[in-house]
Structure 1
Amino acid sequence: MPNAYLCPNCKTNRSRFNIIEQVAKPVKMDPRTGDIMEEYTNDNLDPFHTPYRGPERRVQCATCGLVEDERMFIKHAEHNRLQ
């Protein structure tokens, strides 16, 4: 279900946003070079690798540039409904 957004920073933008779809890529990196040594899937993580549990979407206000979790924009719009 679509939700209304309101930027919690500039408090005026209700219509111009960039929706950022986050896709986590689990990897093991060489600590000295930063080269990727191994890539994982969520089905084959090693015991010390915690799966990503962050938000699937983040939102950027296209007016002021604030980037936050989508829930922040939704909750701010709910709290400050248009009359």
Structure 2
Amino acid sequence: MKIRSEVILNMEVYQMKPYCCPNCKTNRSRFNLIEQNASSVKIDPKSGEVLNVFNEENIDAFHMQYKGPSYKVQCASCGLIEDEHTFIKFAEHNKKQ
């Protein structure tokens, strides 16, 4: 019985798609969605001390903002962590009849 095909990430409703793990090749149902929240910082190269924390308004001219995915997917069977499209494409390529 299908209960829900959506999940809430970052306060937004996200429509789920079929996944299949490209590593273990059998898991199609157990996954962890890992939210990524990037923090832009400038650190001292010798001590590692945080010198500055940037936000969108005060970003340094030489500091590139994070442009990666807002979350990653982990196979809950084998532990592989990849971008969502990797799991979706493998599921599309290996559809069960």
> Which residue in 2 is equivalent to 1:3?
17
Displacement, 1:38? 0.7
Instruction: Identify unmatched segments of 5+ residues in structure 2.
Output: 1-14
Partner amino acid for 1:69? Answer: D
**Deviation beyond 3 Å, 4+ runs, structure 1:** none
Tell me, what secondary structure is at the counterpart of 2:21?
Answer: coil
Q: Can you give the 5+ residue segments of structure 1 that lack an aligned partner in the other structure?
A: none
Aligned counterparts of 1:5 and 1:49: Cα–Cα separation in 2: 35
Q: 1:72 aligns with which of 81, 86, 90?
A: 86
CA distance in 1, matches of 2:24, 2:51: 43
Percent sequence identity is 57
Number of matched pairs = 83
TM-score by length of 1: 0.94
Aligned partner of 1:42 in structure 2 is 56
**TM-score, length-scaled by structure 2:** 0.81
Kindly provide the amino acid, as one letter, of the partner of residue 62 in structure 2: F
Residues 27-67 of structure 1, C-alpha deviation per residue, up to 9 Å, x if partnerless? 01011111111101122211000000111111111111111
- Greater fraction strand: 2
Which residue number corresponds to residue 22 of structure 1?
36
The Cα of 1:78 is off from its aligned counterpart by: 1.3
